[in-house]
Structure 1
Amino acid sequence: MKLSRNTLAVALLAALVAPAAHAEVALDVIGNSEVSFEGLVQADFYKFDTDTIDYGADVPGTDVDGKEYLNELRRAELVLKGKGPGNIEWVLGYDAKDDKFLDANIKYKFGNNANHFIQVGQYKQPGATMEELSSTKNNDFVSKSSITNSLGTARRVGVQYNYGDNNWGLTASYFGRELTRNREHGAGYGLRGYYAPINEAGNILHFGASYSNKDTDADGIRLRARPMADMVATRFIDTGSSATSANTLNNRSDRVSVIGAEGLWVKGPFKLQGEYMTIDVKRLNGLDDFSGDGFYVSGLWNISGETWGYKAGTPTTPLPSDPSKGLWQLGLRYDTIDLNDGSPIAGTNRVNGVLGGKMDSWTLGVNWYWRSNFKFMLNYVMVDQEKYSTTLRAKAEDNPNVLEARMQFYW
C-alpha cells in the first residue's frame, strides 16, 4: 500500500528531530522502566533492464505502464523500547509504511543474562534465517536473500525460551498468527541452535541450524520469489494460486516444515556468510508432498578497515571509525532458489507435481554508513529465472538486470 501523507509526515518529523549522534532517543522513566524511541526510514529506487515482464507496474497485469523503474518509501519503522523494572525488557514497534506491527513483546532475563530469557508476544522466530534475525538497518544488500523472503517464518505471536552464553545458544518457540490482522497465520513451533568455537574481536567462526514446523490452517501455502527487488509486484517464480489445479500448492497443503543451516566467518574487515534452507509441504487429497530449497553465499569487505561484532548468534555492524569519512563496504552475493518438484506430462499441458520455477542471481553492492545515522546503498543485480509454461509446453525465461539504490536514516 502507499503511505499516506499524514503518516509519512509523522515518520519524517520524528526522524528530523532525533539527535544525529545517537542510535536511540531517551524519553523518560515510566513505572521504573527506561523508555527510549528508535526509528528507521528507508527509500528505495529500482531501475530495470527488463526482459519480458514490466516490473515497473504497480499491479501485475492491470497496470502495465511501461515504466522501467520504481521508487517508493520502503520502511517507516517507529519503535518504543523499555528497560526495567528489574530484569524486564519490552518493545513495541510499528511499520507505518506497511501498516503492520513489528516486534511487540515482553522479555524477562534470568540473572540479567542477555542470552538466558523467556519472551512473550510478537518476535522474529528462530525458524527465520540468520539474515532475518540480524538488524534490518544493517542489511548487507538492498534485497534480502530469496530464502529469507520466501521460505523462513519471520514474526509471529508466541512464547520463546532461550538459553545460552556469549558464544552459543539454544532457542525454542511456540507460535500462532501474526499480530496484524489478515497476515500470516497457522500455529507451529521453531528451534534454533548455534555455536561460535571462535569468538574474539576481528576473528569469528559461527555455525547454526534451525527447524520450524507449522500448520497451514487448511488455507494452503503459496511459495514465490521476487527478482531480488523487494517492492516489485510481479513474481515470475511462483507455485501458483489456483485452487482448482493439482499443480499448485495453494489450498492443497496441510503442514510445512523447514530445515536451515548457517555459517559465518569474520577475519578482520572481511566477512563470509552463507545459509541453506529446504522446505517440505505435506499435501492433501492424496497428492505427493512438495520439496524446494535455496541458498546464498555472500562476502563483504569493509574497505575502511572496521570489523564486525557478534551478538545472539548474528553478526553486528560497527559504527564508522572516522564518522566524517564513514564506513565503506564492498559486497558480492550469489543467491539461488528452486521451487520445482515435478515434471511435464508429455503431449499435454499438464505436469506431475508442482513446477514453480528456479531463480539464480548475482548481486554486487557498495554501502556507505555516514556518521551514526545515515546509510546509502547501491546494488547491481543480474537475475536468471526459468519456469515451465503449460501454455508453451516448454520452459519460459525472464532475465532482468536491476540497478538498486537505497537512502536510509535511523536513530
Structure 2
Amino acid sequence: MPRRSKPVCAVLTLAASACFATLAPTHAKAGDIDWLDHWPTHFQTGDGTDIGLVLRYQYDVNDFSHDNNAFTDAHTNRRKYLGFYVKKPGVYDASVYYDFQSKQWQDAFFRLQSQAVLGEDFGALRFGQSKTPVSFEGVTTSTQTTFIELALPSQAVYENRRIGVDWAIQRTHWLASLGYYGENMAGKNHGHTWVARAAWIPIHEADRVLHLGVAASEERPYGLVNALGVQQPATASFKTPPEAGLTTVTLVSSGTLTHVNHIDRLGVEGLWIDGPWSVQSEYLQAKTTFDVPKPNYDLSGYYVFGSWVVTGESRQYHDGNVSNVIPTHPWGAVEFAVRYSDLDLNDGRVQGGKEHDWTAGANWYLGTHLRLQANYIRAFGNRKGLVIDPHIVELRAEIFI
C-alpha cells in the first residue's frame, strides 16, 4: 500500500480554470473586462486616488520521499490573503491585509511621499507593519518569487514583518532606506530592531538590470515577564524546513538560544537581468551575542539561482525589487529556473547542522493574475551525524491581485 496519499485535485482544478481563462477570448474592447489581465477589482476617484482589493490565494502540494519517514505529505491552502489598498500617486499609499490561513495580519501601513508635503522628493516615510529588509528574497512578495519557497538562508535569517517606521528614497541608479521596528501585530517578537539598506543599480533598463545591494540590522530582543513578575532572559532560534512550506519538520536547527543580548544580521544581494536570462544571489549571516559569558553564535548561508524565460519575456524590476514575468502571448509565459542554497548552523558548542538544497523549478504565467508552479527539491541535511536527504515535489496554483 502507498505510504501516503498524494492528492493534487485542487491544484488541477485551479489549473484547469486558469487554462480555460487562457483560451477565452481576449480581444475585448477598451474598457471591457479582460479576464487574463484587467480584473474589476479597483476604481479611481476623480482626483486620481486608486482604491482596490488585495487578494492572494495559493494552494500547495508537498510530496516527500527518501526521507526515512521524517516528513508527511501535505496538500492544503498555503496563503489566503484578503485586504485593500488606497493610493494617490505622488502623495500617499496605504495597504492592509490579513492571511486567513495563518490567521495573522500581514502588511498594514501608511506611507507618505515627501514631495507632496515639501515640494521636493526627499523620499517616503512609512508607518505600520511591513517587512524588514535584510533578505532580498524575503522582501519579495510571495506571489512574485521565482521558487515556491524561500532559500534556506533566507528562511533562517529573515526577520519577517514588524511594526515600525522607515524612510526610503529611490533614484534611477541607487536607493537607500533606514528603519526602526518593534514587535509584530500578533504581539510576538518582543524587542526592537534598527535596519538599513542601500543598493547601486548601474544598469537600469526595461529588460536589462544590474542590482548590487547590502542590508544590515541589529535586533535587541526582550525576555518575557513570567506569572511571578520575574523578567525572563531573551531567547532566539534559527531553523528552517527544507524549502517546503507545508511542514514544520526541520533538518537543521540551532535550538533555543538563551540570554540573548542582540542579533546582528547582514545581507549582500545581487541581481542581473538580461532579457529572458537572469541570475540572483545573496549571502546572509547572523551573529548572536549574549549577556552572560559565552562565545558568540555565528551562522551563515547563501543561495544562487539562474532563470530562463523560454517564451522570451523578462523578469520585471522596480522599486529595488523583482516581480513576475508579464506574458506577451495569449497562452502565457513559461520560465525555468535552478537554485542552489547552503546553510551552516554549526558554530562552537551549538551544532545546529548543515544543509544544502538543489531546486529545479518551472513557472507558467497565465496573464497577470494566475500562475502555476512546480519545484523538485533535492535536500541534503546533516545534524549531529543524523543524515536525511529527502526528495521533495512541490506544486502550487495561485491567484493574486
TM-score interval for Structure 1 and Structure 2 normalised by the shorter chain: 0.7 to 0.9
* 3-state secondary structure, aligned to 2:399: strand
Aligned-pair distance for 1:30? 11
1:367 corresponds in structure 2 to 363
Matches of residues 182-331 of structure 1 in structure 2 within 5 Å? 183-218=188-223, 219-241=234-256, 249=257, 251-322=258-329, 324-331=330-337
Whole-angstrom CA distance in 1 between matches of 2:99 and 2:123: 28
Q: Partner letter of residue 63 of structure 2?
A: K
2:57 aligns with 41
User: In structure 2, what residue type is equivalent to 1:402?
Assistant: I
1:160 aligned partner: 166
Contact map agreement 1:382 1:401 (CA 8 A) in 2: yes
Q: 2:354 aligns with which of 327, 346, 358?
A: 358
Secondary structure, aligned partner of 1:197: strand
What amino acid is aligned across from residue 187 of structure 1 in structure 2?
H
CA contact (8 A) 1:271 1:301 kept: yes
Contact 1:377 1:406 in 2 (8 A): yes
Partner residue in 2 for 1:52: 68
Equivalent position of 1:387 in the other structure = 383
RMSD: 2.3
| Other-structure match for 2:42 | 26
Change (3 A) 1:131 1:300: same
Cα distance, 1:86 vs. partner? 7.0
AA aligned to 1:120 is F
Percent identity, aligned pairs only? 24
How far apart, in 1, do the equivalents of 2:121 and 2:308 lie? 29
Q: CA shift at 1:179, angstroms?
A: 1.1
Alignment of 1:68-217 (within 5 A): 69-84=73-88, 87-111=91-115, 116-127=123-134, 129-181=135-187, 183-217=188-222
Query: Any gaps of 5 or more consecutive residues in structure 2?
Result: 1-17, 22-32, 224-233
Are the structure 2 counterparts of residues 140 and 291 from structure 1 closer, same or farther at C-alpha, using a change threshold of 3 Å?
A: same
State the SS of the aligned residue for 1:46: strand
Q: Structure 1, residues 368-402: CA drift from partner, whole Å, max 9, x if none?
A: 011232111111100000011xxxxxx12111010
Q: In the alignment, is the contact (CA less than 8 A) between 1:44 and 1:407 conserved in 2?
A: yes
CA displacement 1:49-76 (0-9 Å, x = unmatched):
13224311xxxxxxxxxxxx11110000
**Equivalent residues of 1:359, 1:384 under 8 A apart:** yes
Does the Cα contact within 8 Å between 2:251 and 2:355 map onto a contact in 1?
no
Contact kept, 8 Å, 1:307 with 1:318, in 2: the verdict is yes
CA distance in 2, matches of 1:382, 1:257: 30
Q: Report the Cα offset of residue 115 of structure 1.
A: 8.4
- Please report how far the alpha carbon of residue 31 of structure 1 lies from its aligned counterpart in structure 2 after TM superposition: 11
Structure 1 residue 233: Cα displacement: 1.8
Q: Give the letter aligned to residue 177 of structure 2.
A: T
SS at structure 2 position matched to 1:111: helix
1:245 is matched with none
In structure 2, relative to structure 1, the CA distance for the partners of 1:114 and 1:201 (3 Å cut) is farther
Distance in 1 (alpha carbons) for counterparts of 2:121 and 2:387: 48
Residue in 1 that maps onto 2:400: 410
1:42–1:110 Cα change, 3 Å:
same
Structure 2 letter corresponding to 1:257: D
TM-aligned CA deviation for residue 135 of structure 1: 2.3
Matched AA of 1:73 = N
| Whole-angstrom distance in 2 between the partners of 1:30 and 1:123 | 29
For 1:246, the equivalent position in structure 2 comes to: none
User: Does structure 1 conserve the Cα–Cα contact (< 8 Å) formed by 2:115 and 2:122?
Assistant: no
How far off is 1:21 after superposition?
Answer: 3.0
**In 1, Cα distance between equivalents of 2:181 and 2:342:** 28
| More off after superposition, 77-86 vs 186-195 | 77-86
- Say which SS state the counterpart of residue 136 (structure 1) adopts: coil
| Equivalent residues of 1:115, 1:166 under 8 A apart | no
Tell me if structure 2 keeps the 8 A contact 1:24–1:36: no
Secondary structure of the corresponding residue to residue 312 of structure 2: coil
Partner residue in 1 for 2:11:
none
Q: Is the 8 A contact 2:267 2:284 kept in 1?
A: yes
What is the CA-CA distance between 1:363 and the residue it aligns to?
0.1
Whether the 8 Å CA contact 1:115–1:165 is kept in 2: the answer is: no
Unaligned runs of 5+ in 1: 1-14, 57-68, 242-248, 343-352, 389-394
Which residue does the alignment assign to 2:4? none
**Structure 2 CA distance for partners of 1:86 and 1:316, relative to 1, 3 Å:** closer
**Counterpart Cα distance in 2 of 1:120 and 1:378:** 36
In structure 2, do the counterparts of structure 1 residues 23 and 289 end up closer, same or farther at CA, with 3 Å as the change threshold? farther
